[in-house]
Amino acid sequence: MAEAAVAEKNLGNEAYKKKDFATAHSHYDKAIQLDPNNITFYTNKAAAYFEESKYDECIEWCQKAVDVGRETRADYKLISKAMARAGSAFQKKGDLNEAVNWYGKAVSEHRDPELVKKVKELEKELKDLEAKAYVNPELAQKEKEQGNEFFKKGDFPNAMRHYNEAVRRDPDNAVLYSNRAACFMKLMEFQRALEDCDACIKRDPKFIKGYIRKGAALAAKREWSLAERAYQDALQIDPQNAEAMEGLVSCRKNNDEDPSKARERALNDPEVQRILSDPGMRLILEQMSNDPGAVKEHLQNPEIFAKLMKLRDAGVIMMR
C-alpha cells in the first residue's frame, strides 16, 4: 500500500515538473487515498495549488498537512515546511499579518536561518507599511498647531506629546523636527534636540532654523567649535540672519577649548575612527587633498556626504 502511494506521489511530481497540475493533483489524491497519514502528499498537493496561484486552496492543504503531521508525529521539519508554505501563500494574497503569523509558527518548529531572515524582512515591510498608512500631513499640521499652543503656554510636556504625533503623521516634514527640537531644548534634553536638528537638516538642507537650533543645542552642550560650524552653515543660507550671527559671536566668545585638544577629542570619537579606518574613505580623502575639485563628485553620494560632514564637524577636515 505504502509503495503504491509513493509511486503515485512520484508520478504526481513528474507532472508537477511539467506544470501539468491537473494530472499532478490526480496522482496526489490517489497517493492520499492509499496512505492518508503521509504529510508529504498533502504538502505536495499544496505546492501544486501554490504554483497555480490558487492560494486559498494551498493554505487549506497546508493546514491539513499540519494536522496530519501532528497526528502522526511527523518530522518537525516537514511540519515547518507546510507552515512556511502557508505563510508564502498568505504573502502572495497580500495578507502580511497572517504571513508573519505562519512564518513565525514555522520558525518555532524549525529555526531555518533563511526563514528567520524572511520573517525579519517581512516584519520590517509590515512595519513600514503601517507607518506609511498612518501618514496624514493634514492631521500632522493640526497636531503641530496644538503643540505650538502648549509651547507658548510653557506646557512643554504636552507640547511634546503633540509634536511626537505630528512627526509620526508626517515623518518627512523638516519643520516638525525643528519644532520638536525647540521643545527638547526647553526640557533640557540637548542630545535629543540635536538628533532632531540633524533629522530636520537631512530632510531640508535649506531650512535655516535647523542649523540655528543645532547651534543652540551644541552650545548648550558646550561644544563650541561644532556650534560655530552650525551657525556658519546657517549664514551660508542667509548671511544677514541676526540669530545666526549672534550665536556665532557667542560661541567665539565662550570657546576656550584648545584647538589641539578639540582635534584630539574628535579623533577619539568612535564614529570618526570608523570613518578614518575605512580604506575607501581614506582613498577619497587622499584624492580630495590632491584634487580639491574632486569633492563635488563625492558630495553627490549621500553616504559619502554624511561621512564627510561628520569629519568636517569634528574638525578633521576643512570644507565649505
* pLDDT digit string, tens, across residues 2-29: 899 999 999 999 999 999 999 999 999 9
User: In total, how many domains does the chain have?
Assistant: 2
Confidence label for 77 from pLDDT (cuts 50, 70 and 90): very high
For residue 299, tell me if it sits in a domain.
yes
Rounded to an integer, what is the distance from CA 205 to the centroid of its chain? 22
Q: Could you say which of 112, 134, 156 is where a domain stops?
A: 134
For residue 125, tell me if it sits in a domain.
yes
Average pLDDT, the chain: 90
As a whole number of Å, the end-to-end CA separation of the chain is 82
Q: Could you say which of 134, 150, 180 is where a domain stops?
A: 134
CATH of the domain at 115: 1.25.40.10
For residue 145, tell me if it sits in a domain.
no
Confidence label for 262 from pLDDT (cuts 50, 70 and 90): low
For residue 157, tell me if it sits in a domain.
no
For residue 203, tell me if it sits in a domain.
no
> How many other C-beta atoms can be found within 10 angstroms of the C-beta atom of residue 227?
25
* pLDDT digit string, tens, across residues 106-160: 999 999 999 999 999 999 999 988 889 999 999 999 999 999 999 999 999 999 9
Of 52-66, 96-110, 256-270, the one with minimum mean pLDDT is 256-270
Q: Which residue range(s) make up the domain with 289?
A: 262-320
Confidence label for 319 from pLDDT (cuts 50, 70 and 90): low
For residue 22, tell me if it sits in a domain.
yes
Report the pLDDT value the prediction gives residue 54, as an integer from 0 to 100: 97
For residue 235, tell me if it sits in a domain.
no
For residue 79, tell me if it sits in a domain.
yes
3-state SS, residue 17: helix
Span 189-204, average pLDDT: 95
Confidence label for 205 from pLDDT (cuts 50, 70 and 90): very high
Q: Which of 303, 232, 227, 314 is nearest to 266 (CA)?
A: 314
CATH of the domain at 314: 1.10.260.100
Integer Cα distance of 156 and 149 in angstroms: 10
- Please tell me the total number of residues recorded for the chain in this structure: 320
Confidence label for 269 from pLDDT (cuts 50, 70 and 90): confident
3-state SS, residue 175: helix
Of 54-58, 198-202, 228-232, 283-287, the one with minimum mean pLDDT is 283-287
Confidence label for 295 from pLDDT (cuts 50, 70 and 90): low
Residue type, 123: E
Q: Could you say which of 103, 134, 165 is where a domain stops?
A: 134
Report the pLDDT value the prediction gives residue 261, as an integer from 0 to 100: 64
